Amino acid sequence: MGFDTKNKATSQQPPYPLRNDSPHFRKISRYIGSLSLVLIAVSVAYYFCPGHLLARAAVAAGHTAHGQHLRASDPVCPQADALVPGVNHDLWLTLGEALSTQGFQDRAVYAISGAVKIKGESFGDMGPVGNDSRWEVHAAMHDYLVRAFPLINKFLKREIVNTYGLVYTWEGSDPSLKPLLMLAHMDTVPVDEDTLGAWTHPPWSGDFDGTYIWGRGSADDKSGMIGTMLAIEMLIGRRFSPTRTVILAFGFDEEIGGVQGAGHISPVLQQRYGPNSFAAILDEGGSFGEEYGSIFASPGIAEKGSMNVRMEITGAGGHSSVPPAHTSIGKLAAAIVKLEDNPFEAHLLRESVIYRRLLCLAQYGADMDPMLRQKIKDSMTSDQSLLELEKILFSGAPIVKTLVSTTQSVNVIQGGFAPNALPDRASAIVNHRIDSLSSSAAVKARDTYTLADVAQRFNLNYNPFGAQNYHSAAFTGNFSLVATTLLEPSPISPTDGVAYHILSGSIIAAYNAYNWTNSTHSKGEGDDTIFVTPALPSGNTDTRFYWNLSSNIYRYSHDNFGSPDHPLGGGVHSVNERLHIRVFLEMIRFYLTYILNMQEYRNI
């Protein structure tokens, strides 16, 4: 199917015309350090790509890597051309020049630093807004945004939802065009006070050392919120008025599920605009980095689901001097062992996002091992080759297995109250991350079936998920399964429509336009373009509340850091969270490019 190992990859035309009237860009001078998926999966809760894991899998299979290429003319992983604004081309160039000035850098540092200085931690035990005073910290952020962005507060309609959620509406001149919705969140994960001494700069300092802005939220996700607002402030300052309405929605509890923030904002937008009323939705998400000697950007097009299942076994208590053969805790332990001995089956399916990403890596990865490349090629038409590829990946890079399957993890256990008293109940919480091609119903059915023999073994009345599945006349207790939280897998956003190609073209244009002169990186061979491939984030974002507002939901931040030791930033959710100023300017350039490009297409 057109896999050619002799010709170097070049850009491919999209399946329909996109505007491409940009001037010749100067080549970028820089080298992006290799990102390890394992490090990304550990240090970033939500976004990672399997490319380096595949490389390790190839090594595990005894392959030797050396450079070979595939033709971009094959429709395996079509790429958009760099897409720069046409009608607003001069404006885009002017804004790009402004981004490189010391004056704008100082402005950007001031804006993000001020936001980092405002605490906005989200804690898992917070009550509803109005009943828990810890929410009140977000009032300071509201006041700050008014001061820091005077043009936005003058020209955009500002609404407050559920006390601390923010919605900004930049009204477009053409009401027939569906709006663009851009999301971010102002809250952060907490800072463990026991780690304060390990921070190079205090976590709420917002210090800028000439290279990095330091502090909690600098990368996740105040950079997204402030970067978007800086882009719009720049556009307003150049007297730009949108044709397509742009809406900003900022939640304040994304780190603990988003119920109070996005969970209240979404109904407001649904009531106002109706279902499927937005051209596209963009939220925090994937990044870009080097894999197999090529640069790949990885916008998330779907998310796994999530379900917490409470397993509880109850029975008669009593004095521990006269114990039964198995206490409630012992029976629960048997149920846990049964689950862990029977994990969900994992298979690499051609319909999965991860498989589609493999095709892209194989087509454009300059240094992919030729045997692995051939195995991926063969898997497109051969079921046997697909099984062999699956075996290579799962054995050489086991974390890939978690991306293509439903997972289970027993994370909380409770039972007993005294060493001389038999426990009358014991419980455990099992967290499932539901495969994007599966469902909660399938997970419930599998748990019910897997644990049924535990109920029978101990003569327990079995009540999985509200149904009486097994009843014993000589029962010794009760065994119940209850889904305490449930989020279905998200819809999979299309990659063959106008919206995705505008996003892809904007990513490529922003990347190509960025000047990495004096960067810590040097330009590497083959580092002359960026390829866009769909990805599956490992976590969930606020987009979970907006699924019915658009089919075009993408999770992408246009940063290029992932691991804590990466030279351009890191520390997300951990010690020494920081943001490289060049990364931040790159993000702003992308937001500018994307907003302007979204103004120039009607058929979305």
Task: Kindly report, residue by residue over 37-85, the tens digit of the pLDDT.
Answer: 333 333 333 333 344 444 444 434 443 333 333 334 457 899 999 999 9
Note whether residue 82 is domain-resident.
no
pLDDT at 24 over 60: no
Maximum C-alpha span of the chain: 85
Question: Which domain covers residue 455, as residue numbers?
Answer: 305-345+405-487
Distance CA 112, CA 218 (A): 7
Q: Record the tokens describing residue 582, joined without a space.
A: 């060049």
Predicted local distance difference test score (pLDDT) of residue 475: 87
Cβ atoms of 218 and 117 closer than 8 Å: no
Q: Are residues 421 and 436 in the same domain?
A: yes
Q: Are residues 498 and 471 in the same domain?
A: no
Last residue of a domain, one of 442, 459, 487: 487
**Angle between the N-to-C axes of helices 581-598 and 89-99, in degrees from 0 to 180, rounded to the nearest 10:** 170
**Which ranges constitute the DSSP H helices of 23-80?**
37-43, 51-60
Q: Record the tokens describing residue 238, joined without a space.
A: 């150049």
pLDDT at 522 over 80: no
Strand locations in 380-538 (E): 407-415, 421-422, 425-434, 460-464, 477-487, 530-532
Q: Are residues 329 and 263 in the same domain?
A: no
Sheet holding 477-487, edge to edge: 407-415, 425-434, 305-315, 477-487, 460-464
Share of the chain above pLDDT 90, in %: 77
Cβ atoms of 563 and 40 closer than 8 Å: yes
Return the ∠ at Cα 151 (arms to 146 and 153), rounded to 5°.
Answer: 40
CA distances from 348 to 2, 50, 388 (A): 22, 13, 10
Residue 581: closest CA among 526, 521, 519: 519
Specify the number of domains making up the chain: 2
Cβ atoms of 540 and 307 closer than 8 Å: no
Last residue of a domain, one of 430, 454, 487: 487
DSSP 454-471: HHHHTTEEEEETT---B-
Task: Kindly report, residue by residue over 144-190, the tens digit of the pLDDT.
Answer: 999 999 999 999 999 999 999 999 999 999 999 999 999 999 999 99
Q: Are residues 336 and 262 in the same domain?
A: no
pLDDT at 31 over 50: no
Confidence category of residue 573, pLDDT binned at 50, 70, 90 = confident
Return the ∠ at Cα 592 (arms to 591 and 598), rounded to 5°.
Answer: 85
Q: Are residues 513 and 576 in the same domain?
A: yes
Sheet holding 530-532, edge to edge: 288-291, 294-297, 530-532
Note whether residue 78 is domain-resident.
no
Q: Record the tokens describing residue 182, joined without a space.
A: 């851009």
Cβ atoms of 77 and 14 closer than 8 Å: no
Across 15-23, average pLDDT: 35
CB atoms under 10 Å from CB of 548, counted, come to: 13
Return the ∠ at Cα 494 (arms to 443 and 557), rounded to 5°.
Answer: 90
Residue 297: closest CA among 286, 305, 307, 311: 286
CATH of the domain at 256: 3.40.630.10
CATH of the domain at 463: 3.30.70.360
Pairing of strands 165-170, 157-161: antiparallel
Distance CA 202, CA 216 (A): 9
Cβ atoms of 250 and 225 closer than 8 Å: yes
**Angle between the N-to-C axes of helices 89-99 and 222-237, in degrees from 0 to 180, rounded to the nearest 10:** 120
Residue 347: closest CA among 289, 405, 283: 405
Task: Kindly report, residue by residue over 388-443, the tens digit of the pLDDT.
Answer: 999 999 998 778 899 999 999 999 999 999 999 999 999 999 999 999 999 999 99
Q: Are residues 480 and 339 in the same domain?
A: yes
Report, as residue numbers or ranges, the catalytic residues.
Answer: 187, 254
Predicted local distance difference test score (pLDDT) of residue 572: 82
Cβ atoms of 314 and 476 closer than 8 Å: no
> φ and ψ at 582, to 5 degrees?
-65, -35
Note whether residue 579 is domain-resident.
yes
Strand locations in 277-378 (E): 280-286, 288-291, 294-297, 305-315, 318-319
Q: Are residues 512 and 450 in the same domain?
A: no
Distance CA 102, CA 148 (A): 18
Last residue of a domain, one of 457, 487, 517: 487
Note whether residue 365 is domain-resident.
no
Q: Are residues 434 and 535 in the same domain?
A: no
Q: What is the DSSP letter of 48?
A: -
CA distances from 193 to 154, 382, 571, 575 (A): 39, 54, 16, 11
Q: Are residues 313 and 418 in the same domain?
A: yes
Task: Kindly report, residue by residue over 80-105, the tens digit of the pLDDT.
Answer: 999 999 999 999 999 999 999 999 99
Note whether residue 520 is domain-resident.
yes
Distance CA 557, CA 220 (A): 10
Cβ atoms of 352 and 390 closer than 8 Å: no
- Class of residue 11 by CB neighbours under 10 A (exposed 0-12, middle 13-18, buried 19+): middle
Q: Are residues 161 and 233 in the same domain?
A: yes
Strand, helix or coil for residue 186: coil
Task: Kindly report, residue by residue over 119-152, the tens digit of the pLDDT.
Answer: 999 999 999 999 999 999 999 999 999 999 999 9
Distance CA 311, CA 426 (A): 8
Q: Are residues 526 and 460 in the same domain?
A: no
The larger pLDDT score, comparing residue 241 to residue 523, is at 241
Distance CA 452, CA 480 (A): 11
Cβ atoms of 587 and 223 closer than 8 Å: yes
Note whether residue 44 is domain-resident.
no
Cβ atoms of 489 and 304 closer than 8 Å: yes
Note whether residue 66 is domain-resident.
no
The larger pLDDT score, comparing residue 286 to residue 539, is at 286
Confidence category of residue 473, pLDDT binned at 50, 70, 90 = confident
pLDDT at 517 over 60: no
Return the ∠ at Cα 117 (arms to 520 and 105), rounded to 5°.
Answer: 40
Note whether residue 588 is domain-resident.
yes
Q: Are residues 289 and 316 in the same domain?
A: no
Q: How high does pLDDT run on average in the chain?
A: 86
> φ and ψ at 279, to 5 degrees?
-65, -40
**Which ranges constitute the DSSP H helices of 215-283?**
222-237, 262-273
> φ and ψ at 587, to 5 degrees?
-60, -45
Distance CA 42, CA 67 (A): 29
CB atoms under 10 Å from CB of 110, counted, come to: 13
